[in-house]
Chains A and B, each alone.
Chain A
Amino acid sequence: MARTTLARVSAPCAVPGPDDYPRTVPPRTPMAGADEERSGLMTIQRRRRFAALTGAGMCAAMVVTACGAPSEDSGLSEEELDCATYEEFGDFTEEKPAVSIYTPITDAEGDAFEQAWAPFVECTGIQIQYEGSNDFEAQIEVRVTGGDAPDIAFFPQPGLMARYKDDMVPASDALAERAAAGWSEDWLQYGTFDGTLYAQPMSANLKSLVWYSPKLFKDNGYTVPETWDDLIKLSDTIAADLAGTEGAKPWCAGIDSGEATGWPVTDWVEDMMLREHGGDVYDQWVSHELPFNDSKVADAVDKAGSILKNEDYMNGGYGDVGSMTGVSFEEGGLPILDGTCALHRQASFYSAQWPDGTEVGPEGDVFAFYLPGNTADDKPLLGGGEFVAAFREAEEVDAVRQYLASGLFANARMKTGAWASAHADADPANAADPMMQLTVELFHDEGAEFRFDASDLMPGHVGSDSFFDEMTQWINGKSTGDALDAIEETWES
């Protein structure tokens, strides 16, 4: 697999001969005690092979003058292509061990990973066998319980991952140290079981966002709200301004998503739990120390309802509040484009849903602002991300885990495609687009308090079944109390 990726990276330029460019890869010092002649030969081979890759890197730098098709480039910096950078992860070039990675990420996004770690593969000699599957959640169960676990898996749900903690290999001390330097305790807690770190975070996506039209805001003199009260005031203003337009309302939403119908509502509720009660109560709620039908949860649900179930606010472009159950989440925010809706709360990954030609950016057709906290200083962040779990104990597996926990990887991956990380060393300037840049910046914010999407942490029959289902019924008119009682009942059963 790595072969294709490299071929593609160097494709835009005719691959230069090894001598066409200055060598940026310093000759490796032969290992102590190793056969002098053999290791000397190996150095040359590696240098030759690597010069071609460095050539591709130079191509990235000279794109304007000499080489065409910049989009084909991985965009990695020279340092990221230099083998010296990867020495800290060890040298496996002789054995060329294979490490399999199994993930739910497929197609172009999967390719972007392979582009990002191509130099790592080349320099360390570890052959990463990447396999992405759309059926990851079901297949990982089959593979782990069937004794065919991958070496490394990227879990999008810590709750699912916790099922396999007995099969997982804990982080080595070096990895734990690296992870602690990269991520805050807010993040690490989700990969830590019984006080031991098993899986470090990798990607990060942010859900506490409201999509809007910068043009509409500019034309009408609206400003991005900084507190919850400002947001409600803004909603009222927009509602009054839109009163004359048929079918237009300030907010829009779509919650239909097949068997997962209702999940966008659960995200609202989770955001409100964080805003009303903070991270500690949120954690108790997730771990069921706080019953689901507790009045604190009811407060959060009702706060979400003050927008979601408000007929003056919902559902722009689609009808009344009830209409959102018939609108797919993918279409939920689209009325922003024709002006029948102004605000749509949805995660950073909603970027992908805008039709071709829509400009996403602070001056573009659509962009997002942070869903404000109760005050301007509170910055609770609801989000998600993948965690890197390992099922085989071996040096090469540890090396890959360490690499994936490094700022080096985070920055490289941000360059090869829209992706964000909460890693402390992730530089927002490397983000592929303004949305990813905003995401990284918010995760780096001083006051940020991150919590993982609760429905992904709760037991499956609650988090991805009754919570979704009851919140859908709640939109359809079920009372807050009845809906929460019903969820609590399924949790206890």
Chain B
Amino acid sequence: MTFDFLDQIPKFVVLGVGVLAFLLVVLGVLYVGNIVPHRPKSLTAGLVFLIPTLVLVSIGLVVPAIRTTVLSLGDSRGEGFVGLDNYVWIFTDPQILGVVRNSALWVVLVPLVATAVGLVYAVIIDQTRLEKLAKTLVFLPMAISFVGAAIIWKFVYDYKQIGDQIGLLNQFMVWLFGEGATQHWLTMPFWNNLFLIAVMVWIQAGFATVVLSAAIKGVPSEIIEAARLDGVNAWQMFWKVTVPSIRPAIIVVLVTMSIASLKLFDIVRTMTGGRNGTSVLAYEMYAQSFPGQQTGRGAALAVVLFLLVIPIVVYQVRNLRQRKEVR
């Protein structure tokens, strides 16, 4: 398809109008904020800045959330009223129970393993000569989109029954254990979930490393010296000094990853399409709503996902507040 710039002009005009409108709104808000009395903690000044945000949040989040909840009580076309049938279905249908189990597996394993790997890695590379390089290497996967990473790993897990393996993992199996040891990894029930989780860990470990490494550097040297004087060994230093000192950072990493794992969609869609028992809640929500044309069920899954994220977010907000009070 040839790209004709002239043909695209209408789109650029729309873009220009949009950007201009945005600037005008921002300027308008700032202007109004400027002319109203702005004593510290003044209610009016606060409202001027809050109202646009509230309007946007309600259009973008609150209204859709309410609509989704209403849809979740309806039938496959999103009409009628079927009560809690869709929720009953989620928690009784064996296939969907498997999906819920998979999501639980992701939420437990991804944060734990990725944080553990990141923490250990950060401690090991701390203060070494190649620290910067080591950090860069482990952080690189973060720069790849989930879909890109999933495609890379799909090749790693590739399986050929006849001929040369093009999958890295199976080629290692051939080198280590011979021809007969190759496996079709992505179709092995239950274990295939772990192979998908490994991809997410690969992506997220870099994030954990960078955040935790920064936190480790922030541990006051007085504490470390005091501990040294008391004669701790490396093990005690790690568990009794480093980990408690960087606890807030660890929690941030765990919480961020839990939410990301709950919402995970791309890896499953790209690598298995939810086949062979690998579907997760966020993917199933899409699969039911669009290819399956079961609007009610899809909406119910969305609501369940939303409810599951809430406690994590509440915990995180509370945590932040407590830390503020301490300060």
Q: Note all chain A residues with C-beta closer than 8 A to B269.
A: 258-259
Give A373 to B186 CA distance when docked, in angstroms.
Answer: 37
Neighbour of A4 across the interface among B4, B76, B270, B287, CB < 8 A: B4
User: Which of the candidate stretches B235-243, B289-297, B318-326 sits at the interface with the other chain?
Assistant: B289-297
Number of interface residues of B (CB under 8 A): 31
Residues A4 and B161 in contact in the complex (CB < 8 Å), given A259-B269, A259-B291, A460-B291: no
Inter-chain contacts of A472 with B (CB < 8 A):
275-276
Q: A4-B4, A260-B273, A261-B273 are in contact. Are A137 and B162 (CB under 8 A)?
A: no
With A141-B290, A163-B293 in contact, is A107–B1 under 8 Å at CB? yes
Cβ–Cβ contact B161 & A326, under 8 A: yes
Query: Whole-angstrom distance from the CB of A159 to the nearest CB of chain B?
Result: 8
- Cα distance A464–B160 when bound, in Å? 27
State the CA gap A137–B292 with chains docked (Å). Answer: 11
Nearest-neighbour CB distance to chain B for A141, whole angstroms, equals 7
- B162 touches which of A160, A163, A262, A318 (Cβ 8 Å): A318
Residues facing B in A258-280 (CB within 8 A) are 258-262
CA distance A4 to B8 in the complex (A): 11
Chain A residues with CB under 8 A of B184: 325-326
Partner of B2, one of A4, A260, A464: A4
CB neighbours (8 Å) of A320 from chain B are: 161
Partner among B7, B77, B159, B291 whose Cβ is within 8 Å of the Cβ of A464: B291
- In the assembled complex, A49 has its CB within 8 A of some CB on chain B: no
Query: Are A137 and B290 interface neighbours, CB within 8 A?
Result: yes
**Is B187's beta carbon under 8 Å from chain A?**
yes
Query: In the complex, which range does the number of interface residues on chain A fall in?
Result: 35 or more
User: Which of B4, B77, B162, B187 interacts with A325 by CB under 8 Å?
Assistant: B187
A111 at interface, CB cutoff 8 A:
yes
Chain B at the A interface: mostly helix, strand, loop or mixed?
A: loop
B315, CB-defined interface residue at 8 Å: no
Contacts of A326 in B (CB 8 A): 159-161, 184, 186-187
Given contacts A247-B162, A469-B275, contact A4 B292 (CB under 8 A): no
Give the complex CA separation of A320 and B274 in angstroms: 24
Q: Judge whether A339 is part of the interface by a CB distance below 8 angstroms.
A: no
Within 8 A of B (CB), among A425-461: 459-461
Bits for A134-178, please: 1 = Cβ < 8 Å to B, else 0. 000110010001000000000000001001000000000000000
Taking the closest CB of chain B, its distance from the CB of A454, in whole angstroms, is 16
What separation, in Å, do the CA atoms of A145 and B71 have in the docked complex? Answer: 13
Nearest CB of chain B from residue A29's CB, rounded to whole Å:
34
Contact B270 A258 (CB under 8 A): yes
From B291, which residue of chain A is reached at the shortest CB distance? A464
Among the listed B7, B186, B288, which residue makes an inter-chain contact with A461, where contact means beta carbons less than 8 Å apart? B288
A322 surroundings in chain B (CB, below 8 A):
161
Question: Is B93 an interface position by the 8 A CB rule?
Answer: yes
Evaluate contact between B275 and A259: CB separation under 8 angstroms: yes
Contact of B294 among A107, A261, A318, A461 (CB under 8 A): A461
B89 near A: Cβ within 8 Å? Answer: yes
A344–B324 CA distance with the chains assembled, in angstroms? 67
Given contacts A111-B1, A325-B187, contact A319 B290 (CB under 8 A): no
A3, A262, A323, A460: most-surrounded residue (chain B CB, <10 A): A460
B contact residues around A476 at 8 Å (CB): 187
- Decide if B294 touches A8 in the complex (CB within 8 Å): no
Q: Is the CB of A460 within 8 A of B273?
A: no
Contact between A137 and B163 (Cβ–Cβ < 8 Å)?
no
Q: Which residues of B contact A8 (CB under 8 A)?
A: 2
Minimum CB–CB distance from A335 to chain B (whole Å) comes to: 9
| B293-A317 in contact (CB<8A) | no
| CB-defined contacts of A4 to chain B, threshold 8 Å | 2, 4, 7
In the assembled complex, the Cα of A137 lies from the Cα of B293 at a distance in Å of 10
Q: Which residues of B contact A107 (CB under 8 A)?
A: 1
Interface residues of B in 67-97 (CB under 8 A from A): 76-78, 89, 93
Interface string of B273-286 (1 = CB under 8 A from A): 11110000000000
Q: Does A41 contact B (CB under 8 A)?
A: no
Is A465 engaged at the interface, CB distance under 8 Å to the other chain? Answer: yes
Q: Are B291 and A465 in contact (CB under 8 A)?
A: yes
Tell me how far the C-beta of B86 lies from the nearest C-beta in chain A, rounded to whole angstroms.
11
Q: Residue among B1, B160, B288, B292 with the most chain A CB within 10 A?
A: B292
A324 nearest CB neighbor, chain B only = B161
Known: A4-B2, A259-B275, A461-B294. A323 touches B161 (CB 8 A): yes
Least distance between A153 CB and chain B CB atoms (Å): 16
Q: Chain A residues with Cβ under 8 A from B290's Cβ? A: 137-138, 141
Smallest beta-carbon distance B216→chain A, Å = 41
Chain A residue at smallest Cβ distance from B293: A460
Residue from B269, B273, B287 with most neighbouring chain A CB atoms (10 Å): B273
Q: In this assembly, does A493 line the interface, its C-beta being within 8 Å of a C-beta of chain B?
A: yes
Chain A residues near B275: list those with CB within 8 A: 259, 261-262, 469, 472
C-alpha spacing A318/B162, complex, angstroms: 5
Chain A residues positioned under 8 Å from B272 (CB to CB): 258
The complex places the Cα of A247 from the Cα of B78 at a distance, in Å, of: 51
Looking at the assembled complex, report how far the CB atom of B309 sits from the nearest CB atom of chain A, in whole angstroms. Answer: 23
What residue of chain A has the Cβ atom nearest to residue B159's Cβ? A326
* Complex Cα spacing A469 to B186, Å: 15
Complex alpha-carbon distance, A261 and B291, angstroms: 13
Whether a CB of chain B sits under 8 angstroms from the CB of A1 is yes
Whether B293 pairs with A319 at a CB distance below 8 angstroms is no
- Is A108 an interface position by the 8 A CB rule? yes
Distance in Å: Cβ of A1 to nearest Cβ of chain B: 7
Give A98 Cβ to nearest chain B Cβ, in Å. 12
Q: Contact at A461–B292, with CB atoms within 8 Å?
A: yes
Q: A464 and B4: CB pair below 8 A?
A: no
Interface readout for A295-331 with B: 1 if CB under 8 Å, 0 if not? 0000000000000000000000111101101100000
Top-8 shortest CB links A-B: A319-B161, A259-B273, A460-B293, A258-B273, A461-B292, A323-B161, A138-B290, A460-B292
Contacts A247-B163, A465-B291, A476-B187 supplied; 5 other A-B pairs, CB < 8 Å: A145-B78, A258-B273, A259-B291, A261-B275, A460-B292
Query: Could you list 17 A-B pairs, sorted by A, with CB under 8 Å?
Result: A4-B4, A137-B290, A138-B290, A163-B77, A163-B293, A258-B272, A259-B269, A260-B291, A318-B162, A325-B184, A326-B184, A460-B292, A461-B76, A461-B292, A464-B292, A465-B291, A472-B275
